[in-house]
Amino acid sequence: MKRRSPYPIVRFILLALYLLGAIFPLYWIFITSLKGPKEIYTMPLQYLPSKASLASYRKLFSFSNFSTYFRNSLVITLISSLLAMAVSIFSGFSLSRYPVKRTKGILQLVLYFTQTIPTFIIMVPIFTMFTKLGWVDRTGALMLVYVATVVAFSTIMSKGFFDRIPTSLEEAARIDGCSMFQSLWRVILPITRPGMAAIFCFAFINIWNELFLAVMLLMSNDKMTVPVALNSFISKAGISWDVMSAGIVIALLPTMIVFGFGQRYIVAGLTEGSVKG
Amino acid sequence: MMEKNHYRWMLVPALLFLLLFIYIPVARGAVMAFQHYNLFDLSTLRFNGLDNFKAVITDKNISFAQILLNTVVWLFGSLIFQFVLGFGLALLLRKPFAGRGLYTAFVFYGWALSGFAIGLTWAWLFNGQAGLVNDLLIRIGILKQPIGFLSNPRLAMMSVIIPNIWYGVPFFGIMLLAALQSVPNELYEAAVLDGAGSVRKFVSVTVPYIKPTIVSTILLRTMWIVNFPDLIYAMTNGGPVNRTNILATQMINKVFKEYDYGQGSAIGVIIMVLLFVYAILYLKIVEDSKEELL
Amino acid sequence: MKNRITVLFVLVLVLLLLSPVFAAGTKEAAGPVNLTFVETITSPSRTAQIMELIAKYEARNPNVKINLVSPPYEQSDNKLTLMLNSNQELDIIEVRDHTVKQFVNNKKLVDLTPYLAAWDEGDDLLPLTIAAANTVDDTPYLLPQFFYVKGLFVRTDVLAKYGFTTMPKTTDELYAMSKAITGKDRNQYGFGFRGKGSSFKISDILILSDVPNISADNIYQTEDGRFAFSTPEARKAVAAYVDLYKHAVPSDGVNWGFSEQVNAFISGSTPFLVQDPDTVGMVADALDPELYTVIPMPIGASGKTYLDYGFAGLGIPTTSKHPDLAWDFISFMINAENNADFCKVYGPLPVHTSTYANDPFFSSGVYKSWETEMSDPDNYVFVKYPLDSPKYPGWAQVQEQTMQSLLLGNTTVDQAIKSWEDYWK
């Protein structure tokens, strides 16, 4: 494995290949969304639409009411991600500084264990539990579940960030008379902002794309989220690729934007923050 | 030093979320694994000990051994290439170049897609008649006739692993890039002073420094890959002939198609136990990193 | 000071946890009566039609409001099952042929006998409709709304291209034509195969129609009680089906689901497609009408064709607090006029005798083929799947595996048949 290619040309070629490999499925979906319904299944394959048209997008927003679902997803994902980020700031910090080694180890095991859990095994129990509580069709309930699904990994990441920050900083703040809360708020957090942005990105992307819990816990058609809407383009009569491809492209935009801004922080954040060494 | 109590309080929110919405449901779900819980007729609900496990493992029609084999192939086939390609990408991105920010946004976007959308897209790309992959291969001249990628038992698993690799490379790319950039320059300078060339620097400085990241990222990725049925489900539904059926997709079949929550949960328990045991063994093997992780 | 902050913090968190309870819900008690209607064969265009009908009903009945719940098709049956079993208050639900037994087992459906008896359109229902309604325990637990019966879609232009001007009438003719048209190097194939996802619904018609005396109560049994696949005729037919795959279908076909099957038809690479009438709309959107037609299913070697009447309809859950009102809505949705209108746009076959007698739509154009199938009991016999059996839910996966294995040459016809026989024992 080359550590740093001595030949810039080779590097360029490799980078180009990676980009090509990454882009081509998106390209296919994108041009499909620009073809009219009669052009989608032609043989031989058309790599460029003969007449680019926004008909699929128009259909997506008018007929399929996509803007409602888009709004729902934005609200749910933003709130859940922010909440997860907030919670994991505290839990990550605590875990990082926890004085008792044994408990610390057990807690970490508990967190890692959550990653072994398949979503399906909790679907029915959560459904039953929420029905008993009367929390069916409540967006708030779904948000709580989403926070729970990402909080474990967020805490792990958060702990990593805090590990990189020497305790001397908060100790100095304490000596200066700050309470623990204040020292956390005023001294530590500003430094870990990139790390928090990274956590927010991870949470956002995972929650934005979540399908099964949303299907199970929401009822009203106007509360549905984007993945549910995309899934509803699959009916007994097959997949409506025109709206589906348009939907995939639109659904990708927020995550790409969040990711685009965030990846600067993720890389920087992970650099300053998490990765232990 | 802060009082232990404060730390405890700070953990409460996260633990509360986990307890209420993850651990208690998991416990309930695990209980179902020991019950005859079939929605076809709930009046037959009763405890049946290990019957569900026995039924799943000894199923004459759907070979459990095949499912386990598939899961292992799926896991390692995806993981190895995700890691290698991700690492390669991270190395290429290490030195800044013009437009790197924009480039990374595009080359990493795959991870922002849902597994389900990826599965549907690639199923179409691999379509034996109208798929882009076949079309391109024929045009380039590698193939003369289109191949049924997803219907050929020998090619199907490879054909579902490829999109999974495509999906996982960004994650490794990001994590490893960050790790590579976190190596302090002083270490490299010291190595150079000692007379180390490029390869030596890589082997003696870079790799050891980022090893803990590699270890923890791989473990997490392992768990996520095993619990990722969306892609396979969208592409082949476990077929043809059970050849792409992994534990997680068989669980979906039991739950959604057969309404058998007992057996479905049994498979879920099997997944959790296997992953847990694997994690413990894995951490033992990378013993020295265990300290850093915990 | 520190303690106060942490206490405040925990309090905020607890409030946050409780907030969903205070969050606005969808059920408001005061005002009109709210009925919840759950559909399961969800598709965006069909949902739009249902909303129109709901609007029509609400205009006539201002004291009723109907909330439509439309889970995505792939998870809908499952979600409905979960909702029913956790006793959520629902009023009208879409019941399908493969879910009715399960709902009745769990005592979730209201017996509709008194309602049907008092209904003025009750006598207008097809005998098939009444049979479908009484699927379980000879009691009407649902009022069927749609019939899904297979027809044979044909690309007349592709057939003409290869010199075929007559339509295949028997299964043998269909197979022969498919194989004759196939030219692998031309990327032309003959038959729109179904390899996964309830593939047995299609293979069963073609295979079992060669077997004489199939029981109308259970397609997998002959009238004298033998397992249908164990007969010599069935054995020959299974072999012929495998042969069809080898010579008229691309090897990919073993993995074809609904989409691939239909797309192959639309792109012309397979001119024959066995499908339900709700596919008509999709095909009409993508192809010009002079390129295709629909003909009745080919007759098997037994002299008949055994057709399964897939159906879906509406039922009233036992948890409903307004069953009478729910029935009022159901009888509105499924009255002859609305049912006919709905079916014309959505595609499947309506359930009233008067529709077929009075409305030329369902006896002309592509629907002529289905009309033929529905009105010729000598040649087209309707049979039932063993929906009652607890083994039915698991059958799809088992059959798919063994059939795929058979098609790929990993097992023999006799072994496959034996494993099916063992399954149903």
Q: Minimal CA–CA distance to B161: which of B90, B105, B228?
A: B228
For residue B46, give the 3-state DSSP assignment: strand
pLDDT tens-digit profile of C166-191?
999 999 999 999 999 998 877 789 89
The SS3 call for residue A101 is helix
Looking at the fold, whether A8 and A46 belong to one and the same domain comes out as yes
Predicted local confidence at residue C1, as pLDDT:
42
Phi-psi category of C187—alpha, beta or left, where left has phi over 0 and alpha has psi -120 to 50? Answer: left
Indicate whether A101 pLDDT > 50. yes
- Between the alpha carbon of residue C181 and those of residues C42, C266, C300, the distances in Å are 36, 16, 21
Interface contact C78-B255, CB threshold 8 A = yes
Burial C253-269, CB ≥16 within 10 A → b, else e: bbbbbbbbbbbbbbbbb
Q: How many CB atoms lie under 10 A from the CB of residue C360?
A: 9
Kindly tell me the burial class for residue A182, based on how many C-beta atoms sit within 10 Å of its own C-beta (0-12, 13-18, 19 or more): middle
* A64, A181: one domain: yes
Residue C41: its chain A contacts at CB < 8 A? 235-236
User: What's the rounded Cα separation, in Å, for the pair B165 and B157?
Assistant: 12
The token pair at C400 is 């798919």
Q: Which chains touch A (3 or more CB pairs under 8 A)?
A: B, C
Choose the closest CB to A139 out of C23, C44, C68: C23
What percentage of chain C has pLDDT greater than the value 90?
Answer: 56
Strand spans (E) along chain B: 35-36, 46-47
Kindly determine whether residue C405 and residue B258, on different chains, have CB atoms separated by under 8 Å. Answer: no
CB within 8 Å: A232 and C17: no
pLDDT digits (tens, 9 = 90+) for B253-270: 888 888 899 999 999 999
Judge whether residue C24 has pLDDT over 50: no
Average pLDDT of the residues in A138-167: 88
Q: Which residues contact C117 (CB under 8 A, 6 or more apart)?
A: none
Helix (H, G, I), strand (E, B) or coil at A277: coil
Query: H/E element holding B225?
Result: helix B207-226
Asked whether the predicted pLDDT for residue B293 surpasses 60, the reply is: no
pLDDT of C4 reads: 55
Residue C26 in this model has a pLDDT that exceeds 50: no
Residues C278, A236: C-beta atoms closer than 8 Å:
yes
pLDDT reported for residue C156: 92
Q: Give the Cα separation of C37 and C316 in Å (integer).
A: 10
Q: What is the mean pLDDT of residues C137-142?
A: 93
Spatial distance between the Cα atoms of C238 and C313, rounded to a whole number of angstroms: 33
User: What value of ipTM does the predicted structure carry?
Assistant: 0.86
Q: What phi and psi, each to the nearest 5 degrees, are found at residue C273?
A: -145, 125
pLDDT of residue B69: 94
Is pLDDT at A205 greater than 60 in this prediction?
A: yes
Both A101 and A209 in a single domain? yes
Are A101 and A143 in a shared domain? yes
Query: Which other chains touch chain C, taking contact as 3+ CB pairs less than 8 Å apart?
Result: A, B
What value does the mean pLDDT take over residues C246-252?
87
Q: Give the pairing type, strands C305-308 and C380-383.
A: parallel
Pairing of the two strands C92-96 and C64-69: unpaired
Q: Are residues A48 and A76 in the same domain?
A: no
C56 or A193, which is more confident: C56
Backbone φ, ψ for residue A275 (5° rounding): -60, 115
CA atoms within 13 A on the CB side of B254: 28
- Coil, helix or strand for B35? strand
Clarify whether residues A19 and A63 are in a common domain. no
At A44, is the pLDDT very low, low, confident or very high (cuts 50, 70, 90)? low
Dihedral sign for Cα C380, C381, C387, C389, please. negative
Which structure tokens are listed for A212? Answer: 């099964």
CA–CA separation, B215 and B217 (whole Å):
6
Query: What's the rounded Cα separation, in Å, for the pair B31 and B265?
Result: 8
Shared domain check, A106 and A80: yes
**How would you class B98 by CB atoms within 10 Å of its CB: exposed for 0-12, middle for 13-18, buried for 19 or more?**
exposed
Are A267 and A196 found together in one domain?
Answer: yes
- The alpha carbon of residue B246 is apart from the nearest alpha carbon of chain C, in Å, by 14
Do A151 and B18 make contact, defined as CB atoms within 8 angstroms? yes
Q: Does A133 touch chain C (CB under 8 A)?
A: yes
> Where is mean pLDDT largest: A132-141, B99-108, C184-193?
A132-141
Sign of CA dihedral A171, A173, A178, A183: negative
**pLDDT bucket at B290, cuts 50 / 70 / 90:** very low
SS3 state at B59: coil
The answer to whether the peptide bond before residue C71 is cis (omega within 30 degrees of 0) is no
Portion 72-91 of C in contact with A at CB < 8 A: 72-75, 79, 82-83, 86-88
| pLDDT (average), residues A194-201 | 84
Mean pLDDT of chain C: 88
Contact C267 A63 (CB under 8 A): no
- Give the three-class secondary structure for B36: strand
Most confidently predicted of A272-276, B68-72, B136-140, C397-401: B68-72
Distance CA B66, CA B59 (A): 11
> What pLDDT was estimated at residue B112?
84
For chain B, list the domains and their CATH numbers.
25-59+247-294 (no CATH), 68-245 (1.10.3720.10)
Give the range among A1-15, A60-74, B99-113, B204-218 with minimum mean pLDDT. Answer: A1-15
Would you say residue B15 has pLDDT above 50?
Answer: yes
CB A64 within 8 A of CB C44: yes
Q: Taking the CA of residue B143 as centre, how many other CA atoms within 13 Å lie in the half-sphere pointing to its CB?
A: 15
Is the CA virtual torsion B81, B87, B90, B95 positive or negative?
negative
Token pair 């927010």 is found at A200
Q: What is the mean pLDDT of residues B28-38?
A: 92
Per-residue pLDDT at A162 exceeds 70: yes
What is the chain A residue with the closest CA to C13? A87
Determine phi and psi for C147, rounding to 5 degrees. Answer: -115, 135
Residue A157 and residue A28 share a domain: no
Residue A5, pLDDT > 70, answer no
Q: Do residue C262 and residue A238 have CB atoms under 8 angstroms apart?
A: yes
User: Cα–Cα distance between C358 and C360 in angstroms, integer?
Assistant: 6
Tell me the three-class secondary structure of chain C, residue by residue. CHHHHHHHHHHHHHHHHHHHHHCCCCCCCCCCEEEEEECCCCCHHHHHHHHHHHHHHHHHCCCEEEEEECCCHHHHHHHHHHHHHCCCCCCEEEEECCCHHHHHHCCCECCCHHHHHHCCCHHHECHHHHHHHCCCCCCCCCEEEEEECCEEEECHHHHHHCCCCCCCCEHHHHHHHHHHHCEHHHCECCEECCCCCCCHHHHHHHHHCCCCCECCCCCCEECCCCEHHHCHHHHHHHHHHHHHHHHHCCHHHHHCCHHHHHHHHHHCCCCEEEECHHHHHHHHHHCCHHHCEEECCCECCCCCEEEECEEEEEECECCCCCHHHHHHHHHHHCCHHHHHHHHHHHCCECCEHHHHHHCHHHHCCCHHHHHHHHCCCCCEEEECCCCCCCCHHHHHHHHHHHHHHHHCCCCCHHHHHHHHHHHHC
For position B288, what pLDDT does the model report?
A: 52
Q: Domains of chain C, with CATH numbers?
A: 32-147+311-351 (3.40.190.10), 151-308+368-424 (3.40.190.10)
- pLDDT on residue A275: 38
Residue B294's pLDDT is 44
Task: Please judge whether B257 and C10 are an interchain contact, meaning their C-beta atoms are less than 8 angstroms apart.
Answer: no
Helices B153-181 and B115-125 sit at what angle, rounded to 10 degrees? Answer: 130
Q: How far is A211 from chain C (nearest CA, A)?
A: 10
pLDDT value for B240: 81
Q: What is the pLDDT of residue C337?
A: 93
- Domain total of chain A: 2
Is the Cα dihedral C10, C15, C16, C17 positive or negative? positive
Q: Do A235 and C42 touch (CB under 8 A)?
A: yes
pLDDT surpassing 60 at residue C27: no
From the number of C-beta atoms within 10 Å of its C-beta (0-12, 13-18, 19+), residue B263 rates as buried
Whether C153 contacts C273, CB under 8 Å: yes
Picking from A88-97, A168-177, A217-226, C289-298, which range would have the lowest pLDDT averaged per residue? A168-177
Closest by alpha carbon to A27, among A264, A271, A248? Answer: A248
Q: Give chain A's mean pLDDT.
A: 83
Among A53, A71, A91, the domain-final residue is A53
CB < 8 Å from A in window 35-64 of B:
none
Q: How far apart are CA B252 and CA A229, in angstroms?
A: 20
Domain range enclosing A189:
56-273
**Which residue type occupies C135?**
T
Both A31 and A146 in one domain: the answer is no
Give the phi and the psi of residue C306 in degrees, each rounded to 5.
Answer: -95, 115
> What number is the average pLDDT over the span B99-108?
82
Q: Does A129 touch chain C (CB under 8 A)?
A: no
Which sign does the torsion angle of CA B71, B72, B75, B81 carry? negative
A158 with A263, same domain: the answer is yes
What tokens does A261 get?
A: 């801004």
Q: How far apart are CA C95 and CA C315, in angstroms?
A: 6
Question: Any idea what DSSP says for residue B197?
Answer: -
The CATH number for A215's domain is 1.10.3720.10
Whether the upstream peptide bond of residue B240 has omega within 30° of 0, thus cis, is: yes
pLDDT score for C16: 59
Do A38 and A124 fall into the same domain? no
Structure confidence by residue, pLDDT tens digits, C35-88: 999 999 998 889 989 999 999 999 999 999 999 999 999 889 889 998 998 888
Taking a C-beta distance cutoff of 8 angstroms, is the pair B111, B171 a contact?
yes
Average pLDDT, chain B: 86
pLDDT value at A250 more than 50: yes
Alpha-carbon distance values, A43 to A225, B132, C248 (Å): 34, 11, 18
